[in-house]
Amino acid sequence: MPSNADKITLFPAFLMFALSAHLAFLNLQVTDSSTKTNLLNYATVLFIVGALLIATWIATYIIRQGSKNS
């Protein structure tokens, strides 16, 4: 059964990765330069935040496994 840390980090990370991919796809469709820049910036920020959430989840998982073994 997933813990609260799993729910808090993995679900938003998945949403951020999906939204990042969607914005990157929209970036290919748009021709306006300023809109392209904004979409790419938002997609990059969402991807980085999603990666940070995954890194947080990995750290909490390792800590949880270490405390179970002790």
* Model confidence pLDDT, tens digit, residues 45-56: 999 999 999 998
* Model confidence pLDDT, tens digit, residues 12-48: 999 999 999 999 999 999 999 999 999 999 999 999 9
pLDDT at 8: 77
Cα 23 from Cα 41, distance rounded (Å): 9
* Phi, psi values for residue 2, rounded to 5°: -70, 145
Nearest to 46 by CA among 69, 26, 67: 26
pLDDT at 69: 78
pLDDT at 36: 95
pLDDT at 15: 94
Does residue 70 surpass a pLDDT of 80? no
